[in-house]
Amino acid sequence: MRRFISVLFCCLVSWYAIADDDVNTKDSTAASSSIDSELIELVNQLPNTKLNKMQPLVENIAAIKSHKTREVLQILLAGDLYYLKSDKTLVNAQKQNDGNYQLTNILTDEALAPVKKRAIRKIRSNNRLRSAIRSFIAKIDLTDDDKSTRYGAVEQLLEKPSQETLDTMRSLLPLEKDADVANLMQTVLLIEQLKHGKIDEQLSAVAGLKSSLEPVVLNTLSALSEELSASEKTQEQEQLLTAMSKAIATIESKRSNYKFIENVFFGLSLGSVLLLAAIGLAITFGVMGVINMAHGEMIMLGAYTTYVVQLVFPNLIEYSLLIAVPAAFVVTGLVGILIERGVIRFLKGRPLETLLATFGISLILQQLVRTVFSPLNRQVQSPEWMTGSWQINPVFSLTFNRLYIILFAIMVFFTLLMILKKSSLGLHVRAVSQNREMAKALSIKSDWVDAITFGLGSGIAGIAGVVLSQLTNVGPNLGQAYIIDSFLVVVFGGVGNLWGTLVAAMSLGSINKFLEPITGSVLANIIVLVGLVLFIQKRPKGLFPQKGRAVD
């Protein structure tokens, strides 16, 4: 009896599950049918409709609210809409390399078997129909729930809007809730008013457009102004020409201001890279008096560490930089300590021999990387959150990768500043840099301070390599492009002074970015170098020289 009840219970459960699935399937089919039935009926008329009667049918299709409507219109506009001769099934046909056509049912998205060209026939269209389809698609996009879709649709209509889309925009403008989309709609309408309106309407349009930074606004004003200047003018036209000239001057002034801000931004981003590259050199040079020609190779090793992290964790690209920053710091820091313990500590007080030894080490590291990774450049992927830009207005945007680099460099700078100001290690480093002999007399192990300082400076250089991997390709000669600039920053700012390094890096980066558009990158570097030489003649110890009785 117990077994019978168990079997009966299982049967009931199974029947209920099957019945429930059938109900859900029927419900979903019914829902799909209720949403798309009218669209299906109209779309299926396309194969049997003549070209001269196609536009009313397409207009009826465009009027249906369905997620498939725009897709069908886009396929028809692209010329990829076909139907099977055998059963009139409408398909999206894409020609393959072997000459066959890969088919996809446009209503169900079901992939069909490839066929020869003779098995399908194209739904014909002409320029008039394609123009109407563009208007229908624009109308669908203008009424979309997503703001970015509506904004993109208006942007596409800036150049050549049709009369139908202009009428649609006029009706939708009072209902538009997003200020950016509404302003862009207003700009489109004002441009049309400027082109085709009467004098008083054109004057009103100029007054409304003089604050717009859209490139098409400036182009339209300039073209109309030149056209009007070349012809005989009435008094009203003279007034219009004056208004357009003032509007053009206002727009160009605003564009110049944003160009200046853009140059400042790019200068700060370059200065941030120079800061990360030079700050470690400033510490080692200030504490030990060592001219480390292998500092550029620490940057290069940091960049290759980022590349290796992405190779080892290919599924963690979004987090690769968060992993690479501490990894690069550890790797290059350990290499720096090894160099200091193995070579530099035996050459203290002999700057020429130290320079030659570190130059030899840089060549060894470069060749080691070429042997392990090959001489070819390697590309490091950027995480999604570092790609793209923050579009502030039509002529000014901030790229996310450079914005994050500026913030990261400032964070590293203040972290290092706190370490040197508030920790016992920082106290020892400052003591050794100011008076090594007195520090030894106070039982500070200056040899270990040198090793840790050299490792810290090398580790920060490795972090700079992580940053550079997001701006350029990674190669064996990556560090060589920044070693000279790093020394210039250190000398200009003042040896061993972090604030001087910050000011010097940002100053040199900004000066370079302002000179490059005028003189070119090579001449800009020469001008900066000559300027620094003249500056050092007046202030040999840099902007912020060290102070104290034992500095010399």
In terms of pLDDT, which residue wins out, 181 or 551?
A: 181
Residues with Cβ within 8 Å of 142's Cβ and at least 6 positions away in sequence, in order, are: 150, 153, 154, 165, 168, 169, 172
Which range is least confidently modeled, 8-12, 94-98, 524-528? 8-12
pLDDT at 385: 86
Kindly tell me the burial class for residue 182, based on how many C-beta atoms sit within 10 Å of its own C-beta (0-12, 13-18, 19 or more).
middle
Taking all residues of the chain, what is their mean pLDDT, rounded to a whole number? Answer: 81
How far from the centroid of its chain's Cα atoms is residue 73's Cα?
32
Q: Is the pLDDT of residue 334 over 90?
A: yes
- In this predicted model, which residue has the larger pLDDT, 66 or 210? 210
Under DSSP, the state recorded for 226 is H
Is the model's pLDDT at 8 over the cut of 60?
Answer: no
- Other CB atoms within a 10 A radius of the CB of residue 136 amount to 23
Please give the pLDDT value at position 31. Answer: 38
Cα within 13 Å of Cα(531), Cβ side: 14
The reported pLDDT for the residue numbered 12 is 40
Looking at residue 278, its pLDDT comes to 86
Q: How many CA atoms lie within 13 A of 478 on its CB side?
A: 33
Closest CA to 466 of 337, 369, 331: 331
Residue range 15-20: mean pLDDT, rounded: 42
**Taking residues 270-286, what's their average pLDDT?**
84
Determine the Cα–Cα distance for residues 497 and 543; give it in Å rounded to an integer: 9
What would the pLDDT profile of 435-454 be if each residue is shown by its tens digit? 677 777 777 777 787 788 88
Give the pair of three-digit tokens for residue 196. 């085709």
Task: Give the span between the Cα atoms of 99 and 117, in whole angstroms.
Answer: 8
What local confidence, expressed as pLDDT, does residue 496 receive?
67
- With contact defined as beta carbons under 8 Å apart, do 65 and 95 qualify? no
Residue 120 has pLDDT above 50, yes or no: yes
Domain residue spans in the chain? 33-142, 269-392+406-538
- pLDDT tens profile 308-320: 999 888 888 888 8
**Rounded mean pLDDT of 230-246?**
83
Q: Burial of 262 by CB count in 10 Å (0-12 exposed, 13-18 middle, 19+ buried)?
A: middle
DSSP of 200-221: HHHHHHHHHHTT---HHHHHHH
What would the two tokens of residue 27 be? 């419900």
Classify 348 as helix, strand or coil. coil
**For residue 66, what pLDDT is reported?**
78
